[in-house]
Amino acid sequence: MPDFTDALKPRYDGAATLQAERDGSPIDVDELAKHLLSRDGFLQRQDRVVRVLQKEKLFKKDQTLNLSRPERYHVGLARAKAVQRIMRREGWTTGEDYKMFEYLVDEVSPYHLHLTMFLTTVREQASEEQKKYWMPKILNWDIIGCYAQSELGHGSNVRGLETLAKWIPEKQEFEIHSPTLTASKWWNGSMGRTATHAIVVAQLLLPKKGSKSEYESHGPQPFIVQIRDSKTHQPFEGIVVGDIGPKYGYASMDNGYMLFDHYRVPKSAMLSRYAEVSDETGAISRKGHPAVVYGSLTYVRGQIIMHARLVLARAVTVAVRYTAVRRQFRDRDSKNEAEDEMKVLDYPTVQIRILPLLATTFALHYTGEMMYDLYSKSREAIEKDNFGPLAELHSASSGLKSLCTMLAADGIETCRRAMGGHGFGGGSGLVGVNADYLSKPTVEGDNWMITQQVAAHLIKKMASCVSNPNAPPKDPTDTLFQFYLKNHAHHIPQNVVRADQISDQAIVEAFQWRAADLSYRAYQARVVDKKPWTKLMIQLHSLSRAYSEHILVTTFYNYFQTTSTNLSSPTPAVLRTCFRLYALFTLDTFSSSFTLTNSVAAESIPVLQDAILNLMVELRPHAVKLVDAWSIPDFLLQSALGRYDGRVYEELYDMAHRRNPLNKVTFNPDWRCEEIVLGSEDRGEAVLAKL
């Protein structure tokens, strides 16, 4: 209903403010956007899909935060089904089209695990005969799959899984069984209410040699198991399965639990590309690298690394645009009483929280591109039975998954806090993305646990280089470690900043030297001094982070040196500023480890903060255009604060006054009366029905 507020305008014009910001920077946004997002036709696909979704009422998002958790799953499943119908209607059949739908719909679909972990596991670990049978059903969505590995009692420790798969030779079957409550599969996405089939990872039990009654475990092995009837969608006898309930985020996803009671599956259920059980003897024969069983996890970790840039860019886009529009206080040193209040983004105390994160989005981008190339090349080699790159791929994906998800998750929250009170509201657009992304530092390998795998790999590499320092290097890590061993006795620490001059090459070398030196210290502690692993865990976590940060810095430097030269001025120079800001901010944050390892000259440390302030001054005029280049549509942002047009306050008020369903109901606040909604005489029965 119209009222007097319809004619009111904000004191400051947000649209004009953002336009002035854009006019103040000569960066070519379209050119930079294509530089960042041209692979696989991302930008064109995004425009095409957004136009379709905006016309579909089912994909309206403005009431999402007002829905209950069961309602979110209902809507999520309805949208997942609708996406399949729309794709067929529009003739969009590629996996990239489907990924774009998931990205823009911005909720974890109940179908999500089907085309990620389920499909990937079958594609990479099934035999040719198994793939011939299962892949058409998967790609045609005749079945819906999930990946059941984590359990109530074990997540990160895959070798400790309690679910058993016992070989029954006389029946040529496996008996899958949950011997304990903690053997219950737990947290597995799409399993609670949606999936018809599951990849079940269980301990493979085979008869001991020479015995028919005694069994021994041969480690975790994946099995493809139908868990629900194709017509009734009810679980089969011997299977208990359901949804685990509310979580911090992922409201639309049915994360599940599942237990088995001596449930029989045929021999063909065991994925047998790399392992097979003999019909005659019950013996297992393996080929390839033992770590290939975790190939799906490596793939998903790679996807998480590549997605981190877009998630952080979304939060930074909201924060930059809003703080460029928001004004608070006049300059304390100003003598002009008529002067406007300052833009919040002009305060160094706000810049130091947001602008390094803006630089981080580009560091994550180039690392994601590197990870994409590394995974593709490694998979090509593995498909040819060359398992040499697997260890390096596993180590890089583990360390980078830990670092990148932490940077993104912490960065979202930093952006929220930097926006003050309005950052806490639903109009920020960060409520859902913050809650959902909180899972990423934990899922697919806890961030503190998987760093031990990275450290173990680095210690092994360093030990190899120490014992054979002149061997031909197999990868960049060998090259770095061999260089370190030859030069550490006479190494001179780097001056990364001297007389206001920043040396990019010195920055890269400092990060590389720190990674190598910490690896050598870990090697000394573990291999030479024989220190207990548990007592080294914190040191090893720091090593993994340092090693991963050196990858980010080196990759960022190499990419902008080679690829940004095709960009028009001033974009290459601005990207260089982003590189320096990310690197020096990280160096300043962990300055003690750089001085401890003799990576940076002591005189460089005190001048870092002034250098960072100067870099933020350089970057500030381009901030709005830099986030524009990430091309995140308002349909995805769903943010009053981060709207492209800058109409922040108009949208916040409209959301509260005109579109808030709570304001459409008149309540009875009198405690003497049990009625909740005025005039309903419901005596609170509607409330009780929900409890």
Omega prior to 570 cis, within 30 of 0: yes
Domain span at residue 440? 294-628
Residue-level pLDDT at 201: 96
Report how far apart the first and last C-alpha atoms of the chain are (Å, whole number). 34
- What is the rounded distance in angstroms from the CA atom of residue 523 to the CA atom of residue 528? 7
Strand partners, 175: 166, 264
| Stretches in the chain below the pLDDT threshold 50 | none
Would you say 646 and 17 are in contact if contact means Cβ atoms under 8 Å apart?
yes
Same domain, 125 and 270: yes
Catalytic one among 102, 107, 392, 444? Answer: 444
**Is 642 among the annotated ligand-binding positions?**
no
Token pair recorded at residue 205: 């039990």
Residue-level pLDDT at 579: 97
- What is the rounded distance in angstroms from the CA atom of residue 73 to the CA atom of residue 166? 35
Same domain, 248 and 311: no
The enclosing domain of 277 has a CATH number of 2.40.110.10
With a CB cutoff of 8 Å and minimum separation 6, the contacts of 639 are 318, 427, 428, 429, 430
- What is the rounded distance in angstroms from the CA atom of residue 458 to the CA atom of residue 470? 18
Would you say 139 and 93 are in contact if contact means Cβ atoms under 8 Å apart?
no
pLDDT in tens, 610-664: 999 999 999 999 999 999 999 999 999 999 999 999 999 999 999 999 999 999 9
In the residue annotation, 444 being an active-site residue is answered as: yes
Same domain, 585 and 517: yes
Residue-level pLDDT at 317: 98
Token pair recorded at residue 545: 């982070």
Same domain, 364 and 392: yes
In 435-539, beta strands by DSSP E: 497-498, 501-502
Examine residue 685 and state whether it is found in any structural domain, yes or no.
yes
| Distance (Å) of CA 382 to CA 134, 284, 387 | 21, 21, 5
- What is the rounded distance in angstroms from the CA atom of residue 492 to the CA atom of residue 479? 19
Report the DSSP pairing between strands 173-177 and 263-266: antiparallel
- What is the rounded distance in angstroms from the CA atom of residue 651 to the CA atom of residue 523? 57
The single-letter code of the amino acid at 351 is Q
| Closest to 103 in 3D by CA, of 59, 56, 147 | 59
With H, G, I as helix, E, B as strand and everything else as coil, classify residue 327. strand
Same domain, 189 and 175: yes
Token pair recorded at residue 135: 């892949």
With a CB cutoff of 8 Å and minimum separation 6, the contacts of 8 are none
Would you say 32 and 571 are in contact if contact means Cβ atoms under 8 Å apart?
yes
- What is the rounded distance in angstroms from the CA atom of residue 488 to the CA atom of residue 518? 12
- What is the rounded distance in angstroms from the CA atom of residue 366 to the CA atom of residue 131? 34
Q: Is the pTM of this model over 0.85?
A: yes
Would you say 254 and 238 are in contact if contact means Cβ atoms under 8 Å apart?
no
Residue-level pLDDT at 607: 93
Token pair recorded at residue 509: 């070398």
Q: Please compute Rg for the chain using Cα positions.
A: 28
Examine residue 397 and state whether it is found in any structural domain, yes or no.
yes
Taking the CA atoms of 661, 667, 669 and 675 in sequence, report the sign of the dihedral they define.
negative
Structural domain count, the chain:
3
Examine residue 642 and state whether it is found in any structural domain, yes or no.
no
Largest CA distance in the chain: 94
- What is the rounded distance in angstroms from the CA atom of residue 383 to the CA atom of residue 293? 14
Domain boundary among 578, 602, 628: 628
Strand partners, 343: 327
Strand partners, 166: 175, 205
Strand partners, 176: 165, 263
pLDDT in tens, 425-484: 999 999 999 999 998 898 877 889 889 999 999 999 999 999 999 999 988 999 999 999
Report the DSSP pairing between strands 173-177 and 164-168: antiparallel
With H, G, I as helix, E, B as strand and everything else as coil, classify residue 476. helix
Examine residue 19 and state whether it is found in any structural domain, yes or no.
no
Residue-level pLDDT at 505: 95
Omega prior to 290 cis, within 30 of 0: no
| Distance (Å) of CA 293 to CA 118, 122, 126 | 13, 11, 11
Same domain, 236 and 148: yes
Residue-level pLDDT at 534: 96
Same domain, 331 and 425: yes
Same domain, 124 and 172: yes
Same domain, 548 and 677: no
Domain boundary among 225, 254, 288: 288
Report the DSSP pairing between strands 197-207 and 145-148: parallel
With a CB cutoff of 8 Å and minimum separation 6, the contacts of 346 are 620
Residue-level pLDDT at 294: 56
Same domain, 389 and 499: yes
- What is the rounded distance in angstroms from the CA atom of residue 190 to the CA atom of residue 259? 15
Same domain, 452 and 592: yes
Same domain, 403 and 427: yes
